[in-house]
Amino acid sequence: MSVKNGQADDTAGGSGLERRDFLRALGSTAAGAAVAAPLLAAGPAQAKETGAERTKARYRETEHVKAYYRTNRY
């Protein structure tokens, strides 16, 4: 940007304005990303178990478990 008689010459290329626009755009993009990041990081909502579902028995005497008991008798 050239300066003539103490005033900025807006007609001479306008590179100063472009630079400011660039910084402004960069700032708004960064702010947008900061707002969006936690939303993306949180991932899909997971349903939580409630009541009886939470305390129900998970143990099953599968073939895998039977094999464990059998081999532990050695």
Partner 1 sequence: MARMKFLCDSERCIECNACVTACKNEHEVPWGINRRRVVTINDGTPGERSISMACMHCTDAPCAAVCPVDCFYTTADGVVLHSKDLCIGCGYCFYACPFGAPQYPQLGNFGSRGKMDKCTFCSGGPEDDVTPAEYEKYGANRLAEGKLPLCAEMCSTKALLAGDGDIIASIYKERVVTRGYGTGAWGWSVAYKDASAA
Enumerate binding residues for partner 1 (CB under 8 A): 43, 46-49, 54-62, 64-65, 68-69, 71-74
Assigned token pair, 25: 């755009």
Give the whole-angstrom CA distance, residue 23 versus residue 52: 56
Nearer to partner 1, 6 or 44 (CB): 44
Give the whole-angstrom CA distance, residue 62 versus residue 68: 10
Nearer to partner 1, 33 or 65 (CB): 65
CB of 50 to partner 1, least distance (A): 8
Count CA atoms within 13 Å of residue 41 on its CB side: 6
Nearer to partner 1, 35 or 63 (CB): 63
Question: Could you tell me how far CA 3 lies from the centroid of its own chain?
Answer: 45
CB of 40 to partner 1, least distance (A): 15
